[in-house]
């Protein structure tokens, strides 16, 4: 088990939703400000999925200091890769080695899953984060655009109604 001084890295649990919500706020973008009651079912889905891992850094009092979600991608044209989807440490606890330890745990998971590469994406404006990633052994590989299409998904369905979002 990896640890930063005073912190233990472990798999996330549904009961960590509030602490993870607090850690995600440090990313500074509204889409990462997710209420714990919305996070809990997502944590449940992700922790039940062998293709990804959600890790938390926890202090000796059970306080969540940071979170890292890493997911594997298998494809036809390459041997695939693991990608850090979210990495965040509470602002008041940054610069203590927690982020680097979470990255090391993500790297260990990726290697255990036989992925030859670990990658992440970062907004071009996040220059301080880029320096951190480089200090963790990442190199800038390319700039690209992200394209999205909004999808309607079935949220609930019962005998009398169907709800799509």
Q: What band does 157 get if pLDDT is binned at 50, 70 and 90?
A: low
Q: Is the pLDDT of residue 158 over 70?
A: no
- Report the alpha-carbon distance of residue 5 to residue 139 in Å, rounded: 26
Which pLDDT tens digit goes with each residue over 65-95? Answer: 999 999 999 999 999 999 999 999 999 999 9
Query: In this structure, what CATH number is given to the domain that contains residue 28?
Result: 3.40.630.30
Token pair, residue 73, equals 């991608």
Q: What is the pLDDT of residue 145?
A: 80
Total number of domains constituting the chain: 1
In this prediction, residue 153 carries a pLDDT of 72
Q: What is the pTM of this model?
A: 0.85
CA–CA separation, 143 vs 121, rounded Å?
A: 9
Residue 56 in contact with residue 16, Cβ under 8 Å?
yes
Range of the domain at 64: 3-164
Q: What is the mean pLDDT of residues 104-118?
A: 96
């Amino acid at each position: 088990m990896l640890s930063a001084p005073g912190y233990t890295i472990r798999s996330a649990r549904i009961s960590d939703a509030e602490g993870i919500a607090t850690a995600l706020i440090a990313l500074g973008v509204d889409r990462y400000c997710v209420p714990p009651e919305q996070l809990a079912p997502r944590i449940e889905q992700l922790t039940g999925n062998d293709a990804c891992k959600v890790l938390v850094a926890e202090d000796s009092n059970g306080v969540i200091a940071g979170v890292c979600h890493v997911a594997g991608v298998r494809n036809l044209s390459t041997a695939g890769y693991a990608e850090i989807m979210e990495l965040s440490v509470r602002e008041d606890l940054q610069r203590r080695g927690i982020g680097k330890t979470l990255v090391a745990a993500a790297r260990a998971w990726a290697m255990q899953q036989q992925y030859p590469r670990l990658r992440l994406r970062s907004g071009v404006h996040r220059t301080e984060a880029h320096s951190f990633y480089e200090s963790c052994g990442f190199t800038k590989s390319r700039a690209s655009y992200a394209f999205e299409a909004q999808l309607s998904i079935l949220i609930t369905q019962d005998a009398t109604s169907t709800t799509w979002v």
